[in-house]
Chain A
Amino acid sequence: MAAIGISGLVKRFGAVTAIEALDLNVGAGEFFTLLGPSGCGKTTLLRIIAGFERQNAGDLHVAGRLANDIPAHRRDMGMVFQNYAIFPHMSVFDNVAYGLTQRKFKQREIEAKVSRALELVRLEGYGRRFPDQLSGGQKQRVVLARALVIEPQVLLMDEPLSALDAKVRVGLRRDIRLVQQQLGITTLYVTHDQEEALVVSDRIMVMEAGEIRQLGSPREVYEDPANLFVATFIGTSNLLGGRVDRSAGGSVVLAQGARLDLPDLQAADGTELRLALRPEHLTVLDDGPVAGGLVVLEGVVELVSYLGSQSRIAVRIPGVAEVVEVEAPSAAPASASPPGRAVRLGFRPESAFLFAAANGERVR
């Protein structure tokens, strides 16, 4: 049985439709991420589930029970907010105990539960501190403990890491994932950070303009994007224009001139295409002969960005609107290219994602 079931859900704000006829099932114990750019409806969906907003149509089931009419304070869901929402006038202990006091637990039980929860988020001994004595990361841990201590049916997290520094963010997202696996709690996680989504999730729902663009495991959405939006929103994609043309050998001709042969291409001749290439699928070729089957693009180095062990090389290719980005080990000679040097890039045709230019749908 699904922990959360959503069917035909619609949410409008005045004339604006935030969510369009959405169906969704989240399994028990799953770490489920709603990913999308701001304004895509992901936070609205989370707030509907929490009971802070009311849908215009459709049903919400929690653990098999219709939850549409349950007020927010009886939904039994722990929520972690973007900007902490820590109660500034209460100690760490009182913050975490808040939901337990409301549930009329005995004082001894409360103390035991709170100290276990603080241990879980690695804040043992912080009970008597006040929020203004905590760092951002610590505040977010308190709030996580506060949400978990009531043993909710579902944990809801609304961009919980976006207010934190990069380093704290990486540490905390690992902790969140570990705690979630340890407790086996169904978790709905909202973020606009695709890297974060890839790292923590069991499944990711990519949203745009209130609709689902793709739903799948992190590996699926990265390695097998369903459409141009997902290919560009998750990870880096280099985009090349092209057209289906089976007239003279091969099946695709790129706007820049190269030809590709893709026998399994599902599109009629003349279809305008967008071709997406991950940086790791492109290699900088040396001056020697080109290995068989590689498609070659010729261009000029515009900028080399040093990223540590890897470097990212931006190459300007005539006939391609955006610069093409390639990754190479920093030790490789290509990473020492001065701007202006002519380079040849190669890729295997089967590594490319192809989308119909008209609607962005995947054609190969």
Chain B
Amino acid sequence: MAAPAGSRLLDLWTVLTLAALAVLAIFVLWPLANVFTASFYGEFSRSFGLENYATFFGSGYFRRALWHSLFTSAMGTLLALALGLPLAVIAARYDFRGKATLRVLVLLSLISPPFIGAYAWIMLLGRQGLVTQALAEIGIALPTIYGAPGIILVTALNLYPLVFLLVHGALLRIDRSLEEASLGLGRTRFQTFRSITLPLTLPAMATGALLVFLGVLSDFGTPALLGENYPVLATLAFTLFLSEIGGNPAMASTTSVVLVTVALVLILLQRWVASRRNYASDAINRPEILRMTGWQLLIFPAFAWGLMAIANLPLAIIVYTSFLETSGPVFLQSFSLDSYRQVFHLVRGAIVNSFAFSGMALALIVVVGSVVGYIISRRDTTLTRVLDTALMIPYVIPGTVLGIGFITAFNQPPIWITGTVAIIVAAYFIRRLPYMVRACASYVYQIDRSVEEASINLGAPPARTFMKIMLPLMAPGILAGAVLAWVEVINELSATVVLYTGTTSTMPIATYSQVLAGSYGPAAAVASLLILATTLSLVLFTVIGGSDRELTV
């Protein structure tokens, strides 16, 4: 039998699928394989075996780092749940003023990178922190923010929106009739909430919790700034790698593999939970909005706005202090633009780099992501399923590990790009490509297949159909993916910190090194610029995309 009808159509998409797989193989699998292999070459013996893993699990130092990672991730997740769940219930179910503002504030605390939060909390509660010193004057000593408590606090305040967004969405998708049926059968409102509403949001809750856990686990900036003598896997891998560079990256690789393994177990767990319990239904009748009564009138708004204030306090503090005159880590009482002058003088390159690298990466992400998002949601073949699964990997790999992998893989021919702009852009591209793919795919799923077939039927070849019909209909998904990717890329620290050289520094790197150097003024100024770039894109998104769209991961 001859080739299938429309074989050229199949060929186009097959070629693109293979190309995407090749890109993932080069920029994800190859670096990871390098790290993986390196972890089996003994630190001292240089022979193949489990020597490094014996070292890792035999040493209290390494075991402690693993425990620290698990502990802060678990506690951060619990705290994020404790904050995100009640907020989701209040916002989804109660007649509550200022919901639109609330949503923007929640998103703002999600999209501002954790290292900025960490830095702000140091300014507030650190050794020379404003609050610490104010309280010290009246004789109150605060518990330390360095180490586990700070990491847990900062990451939870940064990541609770994941729980909020997912559970809030799930609560709104529960059809009103389900709860009314329960009430009609004689259950009280509270019993109904416990026996109907809560179980129905369980999958969303589990997904949110696992995403938070994964977020804390892979975070580099927060433990790097707040950790001090409290190493976690992400910071440990980085420190080991820096000290081992040029030699044998054995223990850094081993630490990376342990970190990736933990992350992988979690993501598989999340997929399993999601596939097992999925009550997805589109609510025909949105749930009833309840009136707050009695104590609720006081407690609910206080909780919601209190949380908003605390979670977004870091942003306010940073922008405020960026306009203060400083002397090293000490802020003086007068306003000045000195910090900005210093920044534009000292790290102008970093600012230009940030926008240039992020712009280049974003262009790649938009082009490749929209095509791949279309392919995995429309063409159901073995190849596209492999591609879909492979795209989970860059999502799970902590930036530090990817950075280490990139350096080990690309510091020799055939791809020798260590220290160049290309390696940073490639890292940004591959790390955030999944965001765009997911965002586009979720829109493609909503577009009826027959719309596309109608266009082909009317004579437009597949590629033209994609351009004329699919791209315009996917536009909101592309916009959502692009905003999310942009915000993540311009704030990227954990991979950049491994990959950058003197000439390829970025704004997050500048912030990070200024904080470490104790130059709090310039640090605040660069961080403010980052916050501005981030906030502007969120505003742009809200204006273009309409306020009803949800930023989800």
Contacts and interface: CB of A to CB of B under 8 A. Distances in A.
Which of A57, A72, A77: most chain B Cβ within 10 A?
Answer: A72
B15 interface: no
A65 interface: no
B454 A73 contact: no
B4 A72 contact: no
B238 to A, nearest CB: 47
Contact of B473 (A69, A70, A83, A89): A89
Contact of B2 (A69, A77, A89): A69
Given A54-B4, A71-B9, A85 B458 contact: no
Interface string B437-471: 00000000000101101111111111011000100
Contacts of A79: 453-454, 457
A72 B458 contact: no
Contacts, number: 85
A150 interface: yes
A328 to B, nearest CB: 40
B459 A88 contact: no
Nearest to B457: A79
Nearest to B459: A102
A88 B2 CA distance: 36
B459 A74 contact: yes
Nearest to B458: A99
A126 interface: no
B3 interface: yes
Contacts of B464: 102
Contacts of A56: 1
Contact of A83 (B5, B448, B465, B472): B448
B457 to A, nearest CB: 4
Interface in B1-42: 1-9
A77 B457 contact: yes
A98 B462 CA distance: 14
A103 interface: yes
Interface in A111-144: 143
Contacts of B1: 56-57
A89 B472 contact: yes
B453 A87 contact: no
Contacts of B456: 52, 72-73
A87 B5 contact: no
B448 A143 contact: no
Nearest to A56: B1
* Chain A interface SS verdict (over half): loop
B448 A73 contact: no
A89 B451 CA distance: 11
Which of A57, A76, A78, A81: most chain B Cβ within 10 A?
Answer: A81
Contacts of A330: none
A99 B7 CA distance: 22
A150 B458 contact: yes
B454 A87 contact: yes
A124 to B, nearest CB: 21
Contacts of A98: 455, 458, 460
Contacts of B462: 73
Interface in A136-156: 143, 146-147, 150
A87 B451 contact: yes
A73 B460 contact: yes
Contacts of A54: 4-6
A99 B468 CA distance: 12
Given A51-B6, A69-B2, A72-B5, A81 B459 contact: no
Given A73-B460, A73-B461, A150-B459, A85 B453 contact: yes
A71 B5 contact: yes
Contacts of A99: 458-459
Interface string A52-72: 101011000000000011111
B457 A71 contact: no
Given A102-B460, A103-B459, A71 B6 contact: yes
Nearest to A158: B450
B2 A83 contact: no
Contacts of B460: 73, 98, 102
B513 to A, nearest CB: 47
A39 B473 CA distance: 31
Contact of B453 (A81, A86, A150): A81
A192 B1 CA distance: 32
Contacts of A85: 448, 450-451, 453-454
A81 B453 CA distance: 9
Given A85-B451, A88-B473, A102-B459, A71 B2 contact: no
A81 B473 contact: no
Nearest to B448: A83
A68 B469 CA distance: 26
Nearest to A76: B459
A71 B459 contact: no
A50 interface: yes
A50 B457 contact: yes
A188 to B, nearest CB: 13
B525 to A, nearest CB: 43
Contacts of A256: none
A232 interface: no
A70 B9 CA distance: 12
A76 B458 CA distance: 7
Contacts of A89: 472-473
Contacts of A82: 450
Contacts of B469: 87
A82 B453 CA distance: 12
Contacts of A86: 451, 454
A51 B5 contact: yes
Contacts of B455: 87, 98
Contacts of B454: 79, 81, 85-87, 143, 146
Nearest to B453: A52
A75 B3 CA distance: 16
Contacts of B8: 71
B465 to A, nearest CB: 8
A88 B448 CA distance: 11
Contacts of B3: 69
Given A85-B450, A85-B451, A73 B457 contact: yes
Contacts of B451: 85-88
Which of B5, B8, B462: most chain A Cβ within 10 A?
Answer: B5
Interface string A87-103: 11100000000110011
A81 B508 CA distance: 52
9 contacts: A70-B5, A71-B7, A72-B453, A72-B456, A73-B456, A79-B454, A82-B450, A83-B450, A86-B454
9 cross-chain pairs, A with B, having the tightest CB-CB distances, nearest first:
A99-B458, A85-B450, A71-B6, A85-B454, A81-B450, A102-B459, A79-B457, A54-B4, A73-B456
Given A87-B454, A146-B454, A147-B458, 6 more contacts: A71-B5, A71-B8, A72-B453, A81-B453, A88-B473, A99-B458
